[in-house]
Amino acid sequence: MDKIIIQGGVPLSGSIEASGAKNAALPLLAAAILVDGPVTYRRIPHLRDISTMMTLLAWQGADVEYDDQHCLHVDTRPASKSEAPYELVKTMRASSLVLGPLLARFGQARVSLPGGCAIGARPIDMHLKGLEAMGASIEVEQGDIVARAAKGLSGAIISFDQVTVTGTENLMMAAVLAKGTTVLDNAAREPEIVNLAESLRGLGADIEGDGTNRIVIQGVERLEAGEMTTIADRIETATYLAAGLITGGDVTVTNVDPYALEAFLARVKDTGALVECGPDFVRCKAQGRLKAVDIHTLPHPGFPTDLQAQFMAMMTLAEGTSVVRETIFENRFMHVQELARMGADISLDGNTAVVHGCARISGAPVMATDLRASASLVLAGLAAEGETTVSRVYHIDRGYERIEEKLGKLGARIERHSISENWMKGAQLNA
């Protein structure tokens, strides 16, 4: 079990390159199930969730391998298993993304109900209602979703009760090989949705309207072999920009689309920081103490829920009082009690947090509870006086590629320490 140790108080500065986006790469990998030929993937991040998806595809019988150019090659033609068992997907929420592709290809699928971070229920009922509208029968057996469509899927008009990113992706992929036309109303508009649609079009899919709340898919008989390239990780990018700001530094992230960060950067400007954008870079520079700013999480193009914890960490040291409202997930304030251990002054009332900015916070042992919460604790540790130890960092590894190396390039005093399982067992026996 690893932990990250940070000696805080160093302003970060410099430039780093954004990694490929985990939230874009996972549906792209799931889409390989639909393709009648090999797919070459570029800019796939090396993350725990990505490894899990690759292992799942290989278990199903696909050929999965990296080449010496750091490209991933996936050929699902040899795959014969239409399942995603619990032991393979228990740590990954995105496991549900294979349901639609498996059902479209094999006419049946058995997918274990997903696991992952405990930040909310994230029900997949809208996925299942959509597949039923397309002609599938759905049952739940011993914790598995069992879907059948012996005669194949047919196009349908599907209106989501609320915006769902994975639901939009899942049904869009299922509809690609369905008979007729499928319309997804109240669809998610995230850049990752657009990345998936553009990639599928490159392989022969007929999709229109991605990036809007109405997506129209005309089913085709097959998808051809080709390439898919993952977009930059906008959440990782904003996290590193926030690391610069919370430490009073000056950080630039390259190979990224600034437009995808519009809502975040608008709030950063309100703090009084300098923001500069170019065609493929973003720079954020602190200009004195940050000013308190309110945020309200919303589906894209609103403020991302995946950046709420990181922005809150920034606000713990801002001048004034900020109000943070979380409207996407009901359990996404678990980082608050850990920030409080470092001296942050935060009060909670339902889905609202009130953050009273402090002049300083102090290093402390803290525990990560989910992916983005863990990032907020790292940010706080970078700005805190003294030493901060972040445990349970396997959460971080689900979404940040070599976080200690990238922050180290910016001047952070940060190290990863590993505790061997044998040592832990010995400690337990001696306790």
- Residue range 197-224: average pLDDT? 98
The whole-number average pLDDT for the span 119-127 is 66
> Hey, CA dihedral for 191, 197, 201, 206, is it positive or negative?
negative
Q: Mean pLDDT for the chain?
A: 93
Q: Is the pLDDT reported for residue 69 higher than 80?
A: no
Give pLDDT, residue 258: 97
Confidence at residue 369, expressed as pLDDT on a 0 to 100 scale: 86
Question: Judging by beta carbons within 10 Å of its beta carbon (0-12, 13-18, 19+), is residue 355 exposed, middle or buried?
Answer: buried
Contact between residue 232 and residue 255 where contact means Cβ atoms under 8 Å apart: yes
Q: pLDDT tens digits, residue range 34-67?
A: 999 999 999 999 998 899 999 999 999 999 998 8
Cβ–Cβ < 8 Å for 234, 256: yes
Pairing state of beta strands 2-7 and 387-391?
A: antiparallel
Cβ(98)–Cβ(65) under 8 Å? Answer: no
User: pLDDT (tens digit, 9 = 90+) per residue, 348-357?
Assistant: 999 999 999 9
Per-residue pLDDT at 423 exceeds 70: no
| More confidently predicted of 259 and 334 | 259
For residue 284, indicate whether it is catalytic: no
**In whole angstroms, how large is the CA radius of gyration of the chain?**
22
Single out the catalytic residue among 117, 277, 284, 358: 117
The DSSP bridge pattern shows strands 181-185 and 157-159 to be parallel
